[in-house]
């Protein structure tokens, strides 16, 4: 390899990599909006129809491996209430707004699969019935953490929630921490999830799959790592 070629590669590969990340001009908003409407319609239908329909497609983790793998995905389209759906929609959009549509859908699916897998194994120790898209949202979260691990600027805040806290700060002169670095958020989230999962196992109470959240987070991180390896091979 000539010196000129080596210098060209050294200068242009980072630019090529950044260009590859931004090749898609598709916004995640249309795809996520369509999926959100489907979730909302399905949730409304199940809530109005019967609880037995919801129970059939929810993720049921127990000591007998009773959950079918298809419920790892179908449970993500079910929510316990409209408030549950609205909260997940806000969190999901907050994480996905800076991602390409294809990345958002891929990481959401990975998050659902990893969440369902770990929740199923967790059911051997503690039975749980789980619904909601939080596992997939944690997949988006894990992808964002990997991409911004070395970003030391505090910017990890939830859309709308951050705006409300900023309004409270300005109005009442308070100082409420609402924005952290991605690395700080990762440490806080994993620590709290592990503590709550252990407490849940100890008391036998609770309906939130904290282990599933960690599984979704790990799935998103692994998906981002795989994407980074592919970029290096192309470079």
CATH assignment at residue 97: 1.20.1540.10
Residues 6+ apart with CB under 8 A from 155: 179, 181, 182
The whole model's pTM is what? 0.75
Q: What is the mean pLDDT of the chain?
A: 75
Residue 16 inside a domain? The answer is no
Q: How confident is the model at residue 10 (pLDDT cuts 50, 70, 90)?
A: very low
Higher pLDDT, 6 or 113: 113
Check pLDDT > 60 for residue 7.
Answer: no
Nearest alpha-carbon partner for 130 in 118, 146, 148: 118
Residue 160, CA distances (Å) to 1, 34, 94, 97, 156 in order: 53, 21, 9, 13, 13
Contact between 82 and 43 (Cβ < 8 Å): yes
> pLDDT category, 23, cuts 50, 70, 90?
very low
In a domain, 4, yes or no: no
Residue 167 or 230, more confident: 230
Q: Is residue 3 part of a domain?
A: no
Of 4-18, 52-66, 95-109, 137-151, the one with minimum mean pLDDT is: 4-18
Q: In this structure, is residue 138 part of a structural domain? A: yes
> Has residue 116 been placed in a domain?
yes
The 10s digit of each residue's pLDDT in 137-179 is 899 999 989 988 888 887 766 655 666 677 777 787 777 666 7
pLDDT at 216 over 50: yes
Considering the chain, what percentage of its residues have pLDDT values greater than 90? 12
Looking at residue 25, its pLDDT comes to 47
Q: Give 138's contacts (C-beta < 8 A, 6+ positions apart).
A: 111, 115, 213, 214, 215, 216, 217, 219, 220
pLDDT at residue 65 in the model: 63
More confident residue, 38 or 212: 212
Whether 213 is covered by a domain: the verdict is yes
> Does residue 212 or residue 60 have the better pLDDT?
212
How many domains does the structure of the chain reveal? Answer: 1
Supply the range of the domain harboring residue 113.
25-234
Q: How far apart are CA 191 and CA 178, in angstroms?
A: 18
The predicted pLDDT at position 131 comes to 79
On whether residue 5 sits in a domain, the answer given is no
């Amino acid at each position: 390899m000539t010196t000129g070629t080596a210098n060209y590669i050294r200068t242009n590969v980072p630019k090529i990599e950044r260009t590859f990340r931004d090749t898609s001009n598709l916004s995640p908003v249309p795809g996520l909006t369509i999926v959100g409407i489907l979730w909302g319609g399905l949730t409304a239908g199940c809530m109005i129809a019967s609880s037995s329909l919801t129970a059939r497609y929810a993720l049921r983790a127990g000591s007998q491996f009773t959950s079918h793998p298809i419920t790892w995905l179908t449970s993500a389209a079910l929510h316990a209430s409209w408030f549950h759906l609205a909260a997940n929609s806000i969190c999901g959009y907050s994480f996905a707004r800076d991602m390409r549509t294809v990345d958002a859908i891929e990481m959401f699916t990975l998050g659902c699969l990893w969440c369902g897998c770990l929740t199923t194994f967790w059911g051997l120790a503690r039975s749980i019935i789980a619904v909601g898209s939080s596992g997939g949202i944690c997949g988006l979260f894990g992808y964002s953490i990997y991409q911004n691990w070395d970003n030391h600027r505090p910017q990890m805040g939830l859309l709308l929630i951050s705006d409300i806290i900023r309004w409270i700060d300005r109005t009442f002169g308070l100082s409420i921490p609402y924005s952290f670095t991605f690395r700080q958020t990762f440490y806080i989230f994993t620590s709290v999830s592990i503590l709550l999962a252990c407490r849940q196992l100890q008391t036998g109470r609770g309906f939130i799959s904290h282990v599933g959240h960690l599984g979704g987070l790990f799935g998103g991180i692994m998906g981002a790592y795989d994407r980074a390896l592919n970029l290096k091979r192309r470079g």
